[in-house]
């Protein structure tokens, strides 16, 4: 895990790394990477160069609507 200058809780962040999103959702980081690779048009994905940022509010909404991963 990265060592950040500011300690902002995950629930207060807008953008999450794959690792933070995995911790937040209890879905493994590998599975999240697989989902992103297969569905690159999902509205919670933000590409920052080669890094992927997960937009937390849209990710939460997506989790509410999905029944199977």
Per-residue pLDDT of 4-49, as tens digits, reads 677 888 889 999 999 999 999 999 999 999 999 999 889 999 999 9
Contact assessment for residue 64 and residue 26, using Cβ atoms and an 8 Å cutoff: no
Which backbone phi and psi does 16 adopt, to 5 degrees? -120, 145
User: What are the Cα distances from residue 24, in Å, to 20, 27, 49?
Assistant: 6, 8, 23
Overall pTM > 0.85: no
Q: What's the rounded Cα separation, in Å, for the pair 45 and 2?
A: 20
């Amino acid at each position: 895990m990265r060592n950040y200058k500011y300690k902002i809780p995950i629930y207060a962040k807008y953008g999450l790394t794959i690792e933070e999103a995995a911790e937040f959702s209890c879905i493994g980081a590998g599975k999240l990477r697989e989902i992103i690779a297969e569905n690159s048009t999902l509205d919670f994905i933000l590409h920052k160069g080669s890094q992927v940022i997960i937009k937390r509010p849209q990710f939460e909404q997506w989790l509410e609507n999905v029944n199977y991963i």
